[in-house]
Amino acid sequence: MHHTTHYAGDRLLNEYCFTREGFEEPYSILYLYHPPTGEVESRSYSGANWGSLEKRPDTLLQRRHFRSSKTQPQGHFITGRTPLAFNDNLTYGLCHPLEYEPAFFANNDADEMFFLAQGEVEIQSLFGKLKLVTGDYLILPRSCPYRFNFTSPPKLIYVEAKYNLSIPKEFINAHGQLKMDAPYSERSFKCPEWDAELMEGDGPVSIVRKRQGMFTHTLYAKNYFKMTGWDGYVFPYAINLQNIQPKTGRVHLPPVSHLTFAGGGFAVMSFLPRVLDFDEHAVPCPFYHSSVDCDELLFYHSGDFTSRKTIERGSISYHPSGIPHGPHPGAYQNSLGVKQTNEQAVMVDTFTPLFLTRQSAGLEDPDYPSSWQEKTS
C-alpha cells in the first residue's frame, strides 16, 4: 500500500513520489535505498551551451532546407546538441554525440522526445533501461535522470517540450485504454526493464540538471538509483515507426491523420509506407497549402521522397506559416496513378512561430527556396 513502510530485509526504504502537475496528474512511486536528497556537492555545469538560445538575425520569410548530415558527431549526449529552432513551447535540434558520458542528465525544464535516425542506443534511467534501434521514438518525462550508452556514434533529433508531451487524448477512451482506431496499441511500446547494474550497485553517481536554461552538476556519494522497484504511470517509453499503423483514404488525407504525439503548442506526425488514395481521380501527392497557423519541420528518414527535389536522408525542411508550400514542379502530375509510398518522415508542427538559431545557418541549403520555380522553355 502507498505511503506505508516498505523494507529490504530490515532496512526501511525511502518512498519517492515522481509526479506530474503537483499531485493531480499521473505519478509513479519508487522505493529507494537512499533518500533522493543526498547530494554532497552541487556546482555550475558549463559544458552545455544550449540552455539559452539566440535568434538568427535574418528575418526573410522563405522555405528552408537543412542538411543534418553536415553535423559531425561531437561531445556527448548532454553537450553534443545542435539546436535549430525554438519558441516558447519547444526547442528542436540535432543530437549527434561522439563520446560516452557517465553522468546522468535530468531536464527540469521540459519533457524530451528523441528520434533515433541512425544507430543503436541503450538508455539507462531512473526507471530502468531501454534499448533503442533506428526508427525509435523515445519519450522522457521531465526531471527523469538518464544517460546514453552506445558503441558507435548515433544520430538523433530531439525536441524539448515545455508543456507536457504525451499520447494524444483523442486516442484514449474514458477508461484510459488506447482506442481501437488509435495508430498503435499498448503492446506497440517498449517500456523500461530492470537494470541490475544500475539499481542494485553501490558507489557515487552524478546528475546534471537543467532548470530555467541553467545547468547544475550534482554529486551523490551513494547510489541515487539503488532501489527495490517502482510502479505507476510516469516513466520513459519508446515506439518504433514500424509499430505505428498508417492511415489511408479515398483521397489524400491531411497531416493530422498521421498524428503520433501531442505537446503543448505542437504536434508530432509520422509519415509511413502505406497504400495511397484509392479514388480513381485522386491526386496522391500532397496538395499545395498555406499552414496559416503552423510552422512545419519535416525530417526525412528513409525512402523515396518524390514530392521534394534536393531532399536526401537526414534532410530537414522548414516551411514557416504565411507562405504556401507543396510539391515541387512535376511531382503533382507525376503522382497520378501511384498506388503506394515507401517513405518514412517525422514532422513537428508548431502552433506559434519558430525562431531559427544561429547554428541552423551552417546547415542550410541556399538553393532550396528557388527549387519551386517552373522551368520555362
Per DSSP, the three-state class of 149 is: strand
pLDDT at 254 over 70: yes
* Grid cell at residue 302: 528513409
**The predicted structure's pLDDT at residue 107:** 97
**The predicted structure's pLDDT at residue 303:** 83
Judged by phi (left if over 0) then psi (alpha if -120 to 50, else beta), residue 76 lies in beta
Q: What are the tens digits of pLDDT across the range 174-211?
A: 999 999 999 999 999 999 999 999 999 999 999 999 99
- Strand 136-140, strand 111-118: pairing: antiparallel
* Grid cell at residue 83: 539546436
CA-CA-CA-CA torsion sign (284, 285, 290, 293): positive
264 CB neighbour count, 10 Å cutoff = 16
* Grid cell at residue 228: 527495490
Give 100-148 as a DSSP string. Answer: ---SEEEESS-EEEEEEEES-EEEEETTEEEEE-TTEEEEE-TT--EEE
Mean pLDDT along residues 344-348: 96
pLDDT at 84 over 60: yes
CA distances from 284 to 177, 212, 334, 371 (A): 33, 45, 9, 21
pLDDT at 377 over 70: no
Q: What are the tens digits of pLDDT across the range 291-308?
A: 778 999 999 999 876 666
pLDDT at 147 over 70: yes
Going by pLDDT thresholds of 50, 70 and 90, the confidence category of residue 324 is: confident
**The predicted structure's pLDDT at residue 372:** 77
CA pair distance 350, 185, nearest whole angstrom: 26
What percentage of the chain carries pLDDT values higher than 70? Answer: 97
> Does residue 326 or residue 159 have the better pLDDT?
159
Q: What is the dihedral of CA 67, 254, 266, 264, to 10 degrees?
A: -160
**Phi, psi dihedral angles at 359 (to 5 degrees):** -65, -25
Mean pLDDT of the chain: 92
345 forms bridges with which residues in the sheet? 271, 300
**The predicted structure's pLDDT at residue 89:** 97
CA pair distance 310, 304, nearest whole angstrom: 12
CA-CA-CA-CA torsion sign (224, 227, 233, 237): positive
| Nearest C-alpha neighbor of 105 from the set 227, 97, 16 | 97
pLDDT at 326 over 90: no
**The predicted structure's pLDDT at residue 282:** 74
Residue carrying the nine cell digits 529507494: 32
Q: What are the tens digits of pLDDT across the range 4-14?
A: 999 999 999 99
What percentage of the chain carries pLDDT values higher than 90? Answer: 75
Per DSSP, the three-state class of 322 is: coil
Which residues, at least 6 apart from 339, have a Cβ–Cβ distance to it below 8 Å? 275, 276
User: 104 near 147, Cβ under 8 Å?
Assistant: yes
**The predicted structure's pLDDT at residue 376:** 62
